[in-house]
Structure 1
Amino acid sequence: MSKTAKKSQTARFQHRMSGRTTVTQGHQHRFRNLTDRLIPGNGTHRHSFNGITQITNGHRHSYSGITGNAINGQGARHFHRFRQVSRIANGHRHILSGRTSVPIRVSGSSKHRHSIIIESIKQK
């Protein structure tokens, strides 16, 4: 790799988000995604995120939001808390909340983007 190519390559770090929504109308959904854009702040930062829950009871919910500020500094051990209400589907909403993973390296390029992660779901 040339020196010019090395200079244009920047490590991109994101956080994993996963969990279960609140129980509404007798069911809940699993969710899993990566944070997206880094939003700088005064001595801290946040991340935007979006995703779609897994299918339960024949439907799923989309969601998007912004994490809280970095907790535990801004180094390799920091994480973020999040709490977001999903969009309405099948006449109701759910709340997604929790904390992200510590940062994970997802790319060597700052231009690399991830699309929404959607998994194959087996109905019981």
Structure 2
Amino acid sequence: MADTSDIRTPAQIEADIKRRREVLADTLDEIGVRVHPKTIVGDAKAKVVSNIDHTLGRAYVSVNKAVTDVKAQFVDEEGAPRLERVLPVALVAVGLVGLLALGTRRRKG
């Protein structure tokens, strides 16, 4: 005796073909959107912006850490300046500015 559960009617076959055509049409539409030049350019722009944002974020964190580390060298936990560290740096800065001023004055004179 033949198993009749695997036998499909012509209407079932046509409905299956129709569903498969619709799925194929949707897939082709999606592929068309993905390979469209505007989509490719838009995706590339979004990726570049994301990479720039990520790079800028990492740079900000690095700079912020460096500033915090430098600040910790010159300011104590309470926010008061550490004179034993500030004064030598200030003296060196004043000396450099003075040397630059003398060098500029000698070239002009």
Question: TM-score, normalized by length of structure 2?
Answer: 0.20
Greater relative CO, 1 or 2 (CA 8 Å, sep 6+): 1
Q: Which has the higher helix share?
A: 2
Question: TM-score, normalized by length of structure 1?
Answer: 0.18
Q: Which has the higher strand share?
A: 1
Larger radius of gyration: 2
